[in-house]
Structure 1
Amino acid sequence: MEAYGGGRFIGDYSVVRRLGTGGMGAVYLCRTRAGQRLAVKVVREELAEDPLIRRRFMREVDALRTVHSPYTVPVYDARTSGPVLWLATRYLDGPTLSTRVQEYGPLSPAEVARLGVMLAEALATVHGRGIVHRDIKPTNIILEDDEPRLIDFGIARSVAASGLTLPGTALGTPGYMAPEQLDCREPTDAVDVFALGAVLAFTSTGRPPFGTGRTALQRMMDRSPPDLGGIPPLLAALIASCLAQSPGARPTLRKVTRVLTDIIAAADRRAAHRAGLPTEPVAHPAHRCQVPTASGACAVRPAAERVLAAGLTHDLIRKAVLRDDR
């Protein structure tokens, strides 16, 4: 068991090993007394003494406690006062999106679209709580059973909050930061839409659309267009709109979801066609009702239609809920 700060516990949780380190601190795999695994993020001791860092950390905890989505990770426990600051969440036993793409290559357009729909839903929930994440990127997305989990709200900003960023300080990651973040302007929901577009581009091609590091910063400052080569036209057009220089020109998350859903539906139709399956609804013979209501309508048909929509065949429904005349 790896020791932390001279001991083997963080709060009441035993340390198993260190998972990784970053600019703010380190993340440890820990266990509760009952054996449940937790990811515990600990702020570096020298940073924990900074009042601004403390307020930012408290904001991250508050954000995670406020947002409830299948695609975020709930807070298990936290310490926001005292010399050591830490945050415990459920441990996610999966790779980051960055690792997944690096090891296995880009996703198919349909897979990218499905991932994008789930991320858009997560962001809609986050934005609905008045929070802007500000650091959406592949390393902040963990895949669990092929579903994304959005993590690291360390620089998230409440729309109602003010004074938690030093003047002239750009927060975010080069290659995924919107132009207004580079200009240190007030962030809005649109910065997350920009980052979502960059994430979808990376997932489609294996490369960030503006590059990384200094190259990305220079291309952004030069207002260079993103590299979307190799992405199918409909998906590329959506991503390009997300990466618009002007925040007002970027689509809403509702529109992003609508376009991605159309891409998924088209891919499903093509797959059905290749498999020789019908791509249009099949008409069934007229139903002769055996259980009429007082008005003469079929009492069973609404339930049967719901079961049919759930995936059972028409013949199975007839056998299950319709009785022949005796």
Structure 2
Amino acid sequence: MTRRRTPSGDLPPGYRPLALLADGRRLETWDAFDEARGTRCVVKLLRAERRHEPRVRQAVLLEGHLATTLAHPHLVRGYDVHDDPPAVVLETLRGATLAALVDEEPLGLADVAELGCQLASVLGYLHRHDWLHLDLKPDNVVVDHGKAVLIDLSLAGRPGAGRPGAGTRGYLAPEQATGRGLSAATDVWGLGMTLIEALARTAPYGDEATWESRRRWPLVHRRMPRAPEGLDDLPEEVRALLAACVSVDPAGRPLLAEVRSALEPLRSPATPVDDVLAPLAPRR
């Protein structure tokens, strides 16, 4: 096991560390000042003790490549990627994570419909470039005055096979447990989980949900799925849509275009987007 050391903060030249935002097993995430741009930024820096690991190093550089070459209004923007030390420089986002906002109160249907359409848009963009996000959850969505931005491309990968078990416990799609059959449907699972949690403040498979990773089908859930509270008052078609998004069988999940088509009429067309998602704006 790799021994974890104190964060180094040895950012690439031209970036001044301001505060440590997160200290993970692989990465140090810093609030920093970009001397060349004259603005604050976020620097995700590979921990010093893990820089000799080719797979981890390549994952950081891949995230930087994606963040700096893919551009979408609802995707975090990357400024630079550095090889020595391996680091990704990202824009500083205002607002709060969806997880923090939902902790205060669940969202209404119109807000969730707007959120779902925005996330379906950015996921569709990634899929058209043959990439999967593979870690969609409320913690990886930042919302500011009506605009949702998808962050954290550290687990992004191609459709097909992947590392077994890669994902977040409680949000892991069944096929991610085995690392086989990853597809656009895997991100639909993450979208469904995120929208359900936004409405009900609970994940339908439990916060500690995991899946058996032995190579057999069907996968066995270690905890029985439970019907989340807070959805009873939703229209039947919405409940059916969300249930389909988190179908254990990827073939039973709707296409992103179908999700967006179902949610579009539920948005508030006469209201500016900034007002529609006003409950998502951070409290000041």
Superposed pair shares fold, TM > 0.5: yes
Match of 2:207 among 212, 237, 243: 212
Distance 2:223 2:201 in 1: 22
Aligned to 2:96, what secondary structure does the other structure show? coil
Tell me how far 1:220 sits from its aligned partner. 6.3
Q: Please list the CA deviations of residues 157-186 of structure 1 after superposition, one character each: whole Å capped at 9, or x if unmatched.
A: 0348x7xx55xx310012211111112213
Equivalent residue, structure 2, for 1:58: 61
Matched, 1:37 2:50: no
> Is this contact kept in 2: 1:48–1:54, CA < 8 A?
yes
Q: Secondary structure at the match of 2:267?
A: helix
1:228 matched to 2:231? The reply is no
1:72 is aligned with what amino acid?
Answer: L
Does the aligned pair in 2 maintain the 1:27–1:41 contact within 8 Å?
A: yes
Instruction: Report Cα offsets for 1:91-134 as digits up to 9, x if no partner.
Output: 012211101111x2100011011100000001000111100111
Aligned mates of 2:89, 2:227 — CA distance in 1: 38
Root-mean-square deviation over aligned CA pairs: 2.5
Q: Aligned with 1:132: secondary structure?
A: coil
| Counterparts of 2:122 and 2:9, CA distance in 1 | 38
Deviation string, structure 1 residues 14-46 (Cα, Å, up to 9, x no partner): 111111222321211111225311011111122
Name structure 1 gaps, 5 residues minimum.
269-326
Superposed structure 1 runs of 4+ greater than 3 Å apart: 215-220, 222-226, 265-268
Structure 2 residues not aligned, in runs of 5+? 1-5, 213-218, 272-284
- Provide the aligned length of Structure 1 versus Structure 2: 256
Tell me the residue number matched to 1:257.
Answer: 260
**Is 1:110 aligned to residue 105 of structure 2?**
no
* 1:174 equivalent in structure 2: 169
Q: Please tell me whether the aligned partners of residues 46 and 57 of structure 2 are also in contact (alpha carbons under 8 angstroms).
A: no
**Which residue in 2 is equivalent to 1:200?**
195
Q: 1:255 to 1:53 in 2, by over 3 A?
A: same
What residue in structure 2 maps to residue 85 of structure 1? 86
Could you tell me which residue of structure 1 aligns to residue 149 of structure 2? 149
* Per-residue Cα deviation, 1:200-229 (whole angstroms, up to 9, x for no partner): 00000111111112x454896258445233
How far 1:11 moved relative to its partner?
Answer: 2.4
Aligned partner of 2:102 in structure 1 is 101
* Matching residue's letter, 1:228: P
Question: How many Å separate the matches in 1 of 2:240 and 2:107?
Answer: 17
Given the alignment, which residue of 48, 64, 70 partners 2:51?
A: 48
* SS of residue in 2 equivalent to 1:227: coil
How far residue 267 of structure 1 moved from its aligned partner, in angstroms, is 10
Task: Give 3-state SS (helix, strand or coil) of 1:70's partner.
Answer: coil
**3-state SS, counterpart of residue 192 of structure 2:** helix
TM-score by length of 1: 0.72
Supply the AA of the counterpart residue of 1:101.
V
For residues 65-109 of structure 1, give each alpha carbon's deviation from its aligned partner in whole angstroms, at most 9, with x where no partner exists. 332110011210111x23x2110011012211101111x210001
Aligned to 1:124: 124
Cα distance between partner residues in 2 of 1:112 and 1:5: 40
Would you say the 8 A contact 1:98–1:138 is kept in 2? yes
Which residue number in structure 1 is paired with residue 79 of structure 2? 76
Q: Does structure 1 conserve the Cα–Cα contact (< 8 Å) formed by 2:74 and 2:118?
A: yes
Paired position in structure 2 for 1:324: none
Once the two structures are superposed, the pairs formed by residues 235-314 of structure 1 within 5 Å of their partners are 235-264=238-267
Alpha-carbon distance between aligned partners in 2 of 1:42 and 1:6, rounded to the nearest angstrom = 8
Tell me, in whole angstroms, the C-alpha distance in 1 between the residues paired with 2:100 and 2:145: 15
